[in-house]
Amino acid sequence: MNLSVEEFSFVSELVRAEAAIVLEQGKEYLVTSRLGPLAKREGFETLGALIATLRQNQFGPLREKVVDAMTTNETSFFRDITPFEVLKKTVLPDLIEKRRAEKKLALWCAASSSGQEPYSVAMLIKENFPELATWSLSFIATDYSKEMLAQAKNGVYNQAAVNRGLPAKYLVRYFEKHGTDWQVKQEIRSMIQYRELNLVKPFTGIGRVDIVFIRNVLIYFEPEIKRQIFGKVHGVLKSDGYLFLGGAETPLNLDDRFVRAAAGGTVLGGGCYSLKGEQK
Which residue number, 19 or 47, has a Cβ lying nearer to ligand SAM?
Answer: 19
Q: Residue 215's closest CA among 23, 22, 70, 75? A: 75
Figure out which of the listed residues 74, 97, 102, 131 binds ligand SAM, where binding follows CB under 6 A. 74
Q: Report the distance separating Cα 113 and Cα 146, nearest Å.
A: 9
Which residue number, 65 or 215, has a Cβ lying nearer to ligand SAM?
Answer: 215
Of how many residues is the chain composed?
280
* Contact map string, positions 33 to 62, toward ligand SAM, x by CB under 6 A: ------------------------------
Asked whether the CA dihedral 53, 54, 59, 61 is positive or negative, the reply is positive
Q: Report the distance separating Cα 39 and Cα 35, nearest Å.
A: 6
Number of neighbouring beta carbons within 10 Å of residue 267? 12
Buried b (16+ CB within 10 A) or exposed e, 69-99: bbbeeebbbbbbeebbbbbbebbbebbeeeb
Figure out which of the listed residues 38, 124, 132, 200 binds ligand SAM, where binding follows CB under 6 A. 200
Residues binding ligand SAM: what is the number (CB under 6 A)? Answer: 24
Which residue number, 95 or 199, has a Cβ lying nearer to ligand SAM?
Answer: 199
Q: Which residues contact 130 (CB under 8 A, 6 or more apart)?
A: none
75 binds ligand SAM (CB under 6 A): yes
Residue numbers 148-177 binding ligand SAM by CB under 6 A = 148
* Contact map string, positions 237 to 266, toward ligand SAM, x by CB under 6 A: ---------x--------------------
Q: Which stretch binds ligand SAM (CB under 6 A): 97-105, 140-148, 180-188, 270-278?
A: 140-148
Q: Report the distance separating Cα 72 and Cα 70, nearest Å.
A: 7
Q: Residue 118's closest CA among 107, 127, 130, 109? A: 109
270 binds ligand SAM (CB under 6 A): no
Figure out which of the listed residues 8, 84, 117, 249 binds ligand SAM, where binding follows CB under 6 A. 117
Provide the binding-site residues for ligand SAM, judged by CB under 6 A: 19-21, 71-75, 79, 111, 113, 117, 143-145, 148, 198-200, 215-217, 220, 246
